């Protein structure tokens, strides 16, 4: 049994090389890396991201568990339910203890061409959770994310439905993905007003090629004590080391699915820097990019994915990298956001206080 210890000064638990951070103010501990299952299945356009079937899923999941990761992320929309099905069966096949895992799924995306099989209405939320639990072969999920905004459903109705689904016991916590900051705060205010369950965390695109959440989302999270879970920390594979100005590597994910949108010229500059830093450490550019995200203030758990065991193990090694102040400065400078209004005015006016 590996030695375990609890350090109150940092509120972090260490087991081997994996660290565990508190999820907001819930008291729940999650691994600093979260395993994302978007590559499971391969139905429809999700085939462009990954099409791993049960045997491959089981192999990846065994490595995930052996590494100390206890946080697994899926979504109903990933391969239209296949990801959830494969994940649930893998937990059974490997004989994993469900109570030692934190399982998150999502609701929002269209699951069929039926008119009410999409969105954040009470109707769809309740139906979607029941369907997800059947596919996962579980009686509850630990975290349910709203997977995006539904501008045709009131925030109040959505928050009421989310509160009620928690009360049923089918969902332990609720969280948010891809909403604008004002909408998150509106939702938290409504929940506060009525004594409903609030969002406990935020899942947003965050990488060296996409630092946009530093403007509004990260300050919101810090102010409201919300956990932050970055998705696509390698910018859809662009920072994986497969891409350079000299030519793109064939067979990479972005060849068929060029998402999320990024400034590629700026990203090539970033790749030059993280490749050089990686060479100093004897590691890949991908590991440096993942380490940078992990080391940012207020990041709770970074979501990683993989198409094969080799790729997964490479990503896992990012937890062992410690970047020097000089290396962090170089990486920050090449990837920095341009200051927008009113950000620059707030900073200017705050200098005398």
Query: Does the annotation count 123 as an active-site position?
Result: no
Q: What does the DSSP assignment read for 63-100?
A: HHHHHT--EEE--TTGGGGHHHHHHHHHHHHTT--GGG
Structure tokens at 146: 């709203």
Q: Convert 114-153 to b/e letters by CB count within 10 Å (16 or more is b).
A: eeeebbbbeebbbebbebbbebbebebbbbbbbbbbbeeb
Nearest to 329 by CA among 295, 306, 305: 295
Segments in 195-263 forming alpha helices (H): 217-224
Q: Which residue has the tokens 């065994």?
A: 62
Distance in angstroms between the alpha carbons of the first and the last residue of the chain: 52
Distance CA 283, CA 287 (A): 6
Of the candidates 78, 145, 204, 206, the residue annotated as catalytic is 78
Residue that is written with structure tokens 């099409």 in the block: 51
Q: Within a 10 A sphere around the Cβ of 258, how many other Cβ atoms?
A: 13
Provide the annotated active-site residues. Answer: 78
């Amino acid at each position: 049994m590996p030695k375990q210890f609890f350090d109150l000064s940092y509120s972090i638990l260490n087991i081997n090389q994996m660290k565990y951070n508190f999820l907001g103010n819930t008291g729940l501990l999650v691994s600093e890396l979260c395993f994302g299952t978007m590559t499971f299945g391969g139905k429809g356009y999700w085939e462009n991201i990954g099409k791993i079937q049960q045997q491959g899923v089981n192999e990846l999941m065994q490595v995930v568990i052996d590494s100390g990761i206890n946080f697994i992320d899926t979504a109903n929309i990933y391969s239209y339910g296949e990801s959830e099905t494969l994940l649930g069966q893998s937990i059974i096949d490997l004989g994993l203890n469900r109570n030692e895992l934190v399982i998150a799924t999502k609701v929002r995306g269209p699951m069929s061409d039926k008119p009410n099989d999409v969105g954040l209405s009470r109707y769809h939320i309740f139906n979607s959770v029941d369907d997800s639990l059947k596919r996962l072969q579980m009686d509850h999920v630990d975290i349910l994310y709203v997977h995006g905004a539904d501008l045709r459903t009131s925030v109040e109705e959505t928050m009421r439905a989310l509160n009620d689904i928690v009360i049923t016991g089918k969902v332990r916590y609720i969280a948010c993905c891809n909403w604008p900051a004002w909408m998150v705060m509106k939702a938290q205010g409504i929940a506060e007003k009525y004594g409903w369950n609030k969002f406990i965390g935020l899942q947003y695109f965050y990488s060296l090629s996409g630092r946009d959440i530093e403007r509004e989302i990260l300050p919101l999270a810090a102010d409201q004590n919300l956990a932050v879970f970055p998705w696509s920390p390698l910018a859809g594979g662009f920072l994986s080391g497969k891409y350079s100005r000299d030519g793109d590597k064939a067979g990479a994910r972005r060849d068929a699915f060029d998402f999320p949108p990024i400034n590629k010229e700026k990203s090539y500059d970033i790749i030059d820097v993280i490749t050089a830093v990686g060479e100093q450490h004897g590691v890949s550019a991908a590991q440096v990019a993942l380490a940078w995200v992990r080391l940012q203030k207020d990041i709770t758990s970074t979501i990683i994915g993989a198409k094969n065991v080799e790729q997964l193990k490479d990503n896992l090694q990012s937890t062992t990298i410690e970047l020097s102040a000089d290396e962090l400065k170089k990486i920050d400078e090449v990837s920095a956001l341009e200051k927008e209004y009113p950000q620059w005015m707030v900073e200017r006016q705050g200098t005398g206080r």
